[in-house]
Structure 1
Amino acid sequence: MRSDVRSVRSGRQQIYLTVPGSQISGGLTLDFQMSLLEPGRTVESPFAPKKIGNTVFRVERKILLEGIAPRLPMLPVSFADHGIVGSESSLWWLRLSTHDLTASASSAIWLWLNVDNPFIVRMLEVPDSPESEMWLRFLEIDFMRQLLREALSNDELSLQVPYPEESLGCVLSSLVTLLGNSLDQLRQRYQEDPGRLEAELQAKVGGVK
């Protein structure tokens, strides 16, 4: 996302940038840069920028949006609004906003929680209850199971590609290496006995906390 300011007045100046909340999660990096558009007629200092495009000033700020603890990217949604018949019986929906493996995982992966379901509503309203904790634990395991399915069905995923940190490709490849070192072997095992591979995943991520 980019915001261009064509001129800078003398004195104090404020720049505003609107960021769509549905496209960000976890962390936000702001990179502010001022570049030379027109060289001055007289330049006294040999260190002053002279060419168009020269960087005059640059600063970067990183902001944590949701704390530093890992969490599921959950979003309450009415499934009835998305045309699902009998939506009150549905629980959640793993939705990828993009399949670009270099995209940020925090903006690409969303777990939609169905607010038409009374169990989900109670889990959201009273998250500390024993029932809600049980549902949340089951949700976490199922979330990983569905991510594994996405990883094994993505023909472009490769364990040899150094995907950017916290990208969709990085998350999917890390999940694959949790179960083995060969993507082809895992795909073969999943075809032969998907239940066993999912049970191994449960043993990896479903331990008592």
Structure 2
Amino acid sequence: MEIAIFGTSADPPTISHQKILVYLANHYDLVSVYASDNPFKSHASGFVHRQKMLDLLVRDLHRDYPHLHHTPEVSDRRSIHTLEKAKQRWGEDNNFTIVIGSDLVDQIFQWYQAEKLLSQVKILVIPRENYPLTQEDIEKINRHSNSGAFTKWHFAIASCHIPPYSSSNYRENHHDSTVIKSIQEYIEKNHLYSS
């Protein structure tokens, strides 16, 4: 089984996150998504709020994509531990792909136990409009791929167009159209992202 694991800050989850999930659901047998605490980022709302908003987004899609699951139980600050939890849940014999945005490509080789992780999973990069993959990024990936430590890793770029609605853009401008209605209602009810 091909399993995509997508950890995202979800601060808040936007229409762009929704498009990514639909893309993944159309290309993988199972999609696991969870709110993550990226050690390289700061977060504007608490972890529990981000998990609840992401759950609302997954519920909105679940009828059409029953193999799309909100799986907070596999969430971990370190991707290697997330992979271990995913293998315990779905089995060692599956093929796992970790999904990241193009804004995180630079961080891959700084991840905890990156060499061990990248020998066990594929990496799928979702292009983000404001974070294009540059030739320098690709050359850096190729350099690492050809070095002794990372020769076994598999890297691909998703062929999808994601709208330029980022969580940070929502936090700055509060455009209701960038999040689904249930998330907007949750934000208002819990007074999140207010100035």
Larger helix proportion, structure 1 or 2? 2
User: Shorter-chain TM-score: which interval?
Assistant: under 0.3
TM-score by length of 1: 0.21
User: Which structure ranks higher in relative contact order (CA pairs < 8 Å, sequence separation ≥ 6)?
Assistant: 2
TM-score by length of 2: 0.22
